[in-house]
Amino acid sequence: MTKIISGRNSKKLAAQLSKNLKLPLVGAFIDYFADGELRIQLAGGIQGENALIVQSTSTPVNDHLMELLLLAHTAKRLQARKIIALVPYLGYSRQDQPFSNFGPISAQVVATLIEAAGIDHLITLDLHSEQTKKFFKIDVQNIEAAPVFAKILKEAVNLIIVSPDKGGNDRAHKLSLLLGVNFVVMNKMRKSPNTCQIAGMSGDVTGKHCVLIDDIIDTGHTLCKAAEFLMQAGAFSVEAMVTHAVLSRQAIEKLEDSVIKKITVTNSIEHTYLSNKFRVIEIAPLLTDTLCDLL
Ligand code: R5P
């Protein structure tokens, strides 16, 4: 038997999975001590059962990550048989290499912490890079949203897929193969964090409906700059498909004012409200299928 434990950041998803998979949810009381340390207690035992812990580690990243680790450690301490962490959005995964000679490889530290907390199997959605997977010794199952995006685009005409940077080459390639269309890759330069310039791209988009594909929208800079560049290069229109809607700072306003016609995101990060420019895809069905095969 598997029991689901929900972190505070993915309650809706945990409830949907509990319903779809007919698995019980174990309540978790999560609050803070006076100094800000987390205080966690499960509502019941999990001895000899599998624990499926559901928690995206988005803002506040450190709290949500720590919560995941403490929940996993609790399940381990209570002698759960196997601990599976479903972390649709894994914070710090973009830091899969040091930003400078004097910086950490933060994604590697997160991988070490996840293993040390007792997690046996990690399921993620569109992990930032293959590199991050290599930091883990446990099984990491990375689910891709591309087939879901492809379904939405299957009737669209005159398409070209665009990756805003070289890191997204494989993601764009996969989507283009699913749709039988071409793709181009942009040359994105970052002089400082959270700003960027597009210095060129690998092909012609004249008259095309461009679909920007990316794993994360954080500040929205990348998408806005990429879309402007595409329109200036003669594109007919631009839409975006992005797995994780981090949406920090003024990202929503910036994207609202941008030339991008539609932005499809998943609910790997739960938002209470997003405007009509956003189309939100439920990931529960995709994850239900994966979990059915695993459990
Ligand atoms: C970077 O390599 C990622 O794939 C995204 O392009 C990036 O995280 C987006 O960040 P922002 O929205 O702040 O430009």
Tens digits of residue pLDDT in 78-104 = 999 999 999 999 999 999 999 889 999
- To which H or E segment does residue 124 belong? strand 121-125
CA angle 119, 218, 121 (to 5 degrees): 10
Q: Sort strands 25-26 and 28-32 into parallel, antiparallel or unpaired.
A: unpaired
pLDDT at 282: 96
Determine whether the shortest distance from the Cβ of 165 to ligand 1 is under 6 A. yes
Average pLDDT, the chain: 96
Q: How many CB atoms lie within 10 A of CB 236?
A: 14
What's the rounded Cα separation, in Å, for the pair 67 and 50? 18
pLDDT at 115: 98
Query: pLDDT of 249-260, one tens digit each?
Result: 999 999 999 999
Is 222 touching ligand 1 by the criterion CB < 6 Å? yes
Ligand 1, residues 218, 223, 229, 246: which to mutate, most atoms within 8 A of Cβ?
A: 218
Confirm if 179 and 208 have CB atoms less than 8 A apart. no
Q: Beta strand pairing status for 197-201 and 183-189?
A: antiparallel
Contacts of 271 (CB under 8 A, 6+ apart): 245, 247, 280
Name the least confident of 31-45, 105-119, 142-156, 189-203: 189-203
Q: What is the pLDDT confidence band of residue 294, given thresholds at 50, 70 and 90?
A: confident
* Ligand 1 atom nearest to 194, measured from its CA: 13
pLDDT over 80 at 194, yes or no: no
Looking at residue 99, its pLDDT comes to 87
Ligand 1: does its nearest atom lie under 6 Å from the Cβ of 250? no
pLDDT (0 to 100) of residue 174: 97
Mark whether 225 is an active-site residue. no
Give the residue among 103, 67, 109, 108 at the shortest CA–CA distance from 87.
67
Q: Check 188, 191, 208, 262 and give the catalytic one.
A: 188
Asked, as a colleague might, if the bond just before 88 is cis with ω within 30 of 0, I would say no
Distance from the alpha carbon of residue 220 to the mean position of ligand 1, in angstroms: 7
